[in-house]
A = this chain, B = another copy of it.
Amino acid sequence: MKNFILPIEKLIAEFSHLPGVGRKTATRYAYSIINKDMQGVQDFASALLEAKRLVKYCSVCGNFTDSDICEVCKKGDRKLVCVVAEPKDILAFEKVREYNGTYHVLHGLLSPMEGKTAEDIRIKELLARVSGDDVSEVIMATPPTVEGEATAIYISKLLKPLGVKVSRIAQGVSMGTELEYVDEVTLGKALNERREI
């Protein structure tokens, strides 16, 4: 079903490019835009352009920032570096509030399937940082997937000769999970990495 209205179709197409948005949701968004006042739509359009224009990568960690060095790098303990795949992962860790170190954003993971090699993600920036700065520990916080595991192992092998402590976030059962629904790989990890209480 087409709307037959070109400007709405174009807007629906743009909204459809957002992550997880299908045609039906995009149509709902587009219709809500038409019902906004002109000022509201102009504010939306400038917010888009401003965000793209002003936001860049932190020169230290690769996180999003609007200055040269991001807030986390300015305030955090640079001896402790948590390596993540994407800037959005930093948001998740910052919510924990127990972590006061800094981050390093790889902007991707090693993936032979997608042709992503060590050159395509920010590994050499991490090595330079560990060699240059006085880093005492690097925490590998790539996701617990095949690509995430492979990337963590690959990077840890490059880091160890530099004499830095390398750790991996723990894997096990999530808080509040019913054990009967936990997959066997996770449960196996939870058993292997059990600790005395």
**A3-B64, A64-B3, A66-B5 given; A51·B28 CB < 8 A:** no
Tell me whether A33 and B7 are in contact (CB under 8 A).
no
Contact of A19 among B11, B32, B43, B70 (CB under 8 A): B32
Q: Nearest Cβ distance between residue A107 and chain B, in whole angstroms? A: 9
* Chain B CB within 10 A, most for which of A27, A45, A48: A48
Give the bracket for the number of chain A residues in contact with chain B: 35 or more
Contact of A55 among B8, B44, B65 (CB under 8 A): B8
| A75 vs B69: C-alpha distance when bound (angstroms) | 59
Contacts of A53 in B (CB 8 A): 7, 38
Q: Nearest Cβ distance between residue A82 and chain B, in whole angstroms? A: 16
Q: A77 on the interface (CB 8 Å rule)?
A: no
Contacts of A46 in B (CB 8 A): 45
Instruction: Tell which of A88-96, A114-122, A129-137 binds the partner.
Output: A88-96
| A86 vs B32: C-alpha distance when bound (angstroms) | 11
Please report whether the interface of chain A is mostly helix, strand, loop or mixed according to DSSP.
Answer: helix
Q: A179 on the interface (CB 8 Å rule)?
A: no
* Identical copies of this chain, number: 2
10 tightest Cβ-Cβ pairs between the two chains A and B: A45-B45, A41-B52, A11-B51, A4-B71, A7-B51, A7-B54, A14-B47, A11-B47, A14-B44, A10-B47
Q: Nearest Cβ distance between residue A85 and chain B, in whole angstroms? A: 13
Interface string of A38-82 (1 = CB under 8 A from B): 101111111111111111000000001110001110000000000
**A18-B32, A29-B19 given; A55·B1 CB < 8 A:** no
Q: A34 on the interface (CB 8 Å rule)?
A: yes
Contacts of A154 in B (CB 8 A): none
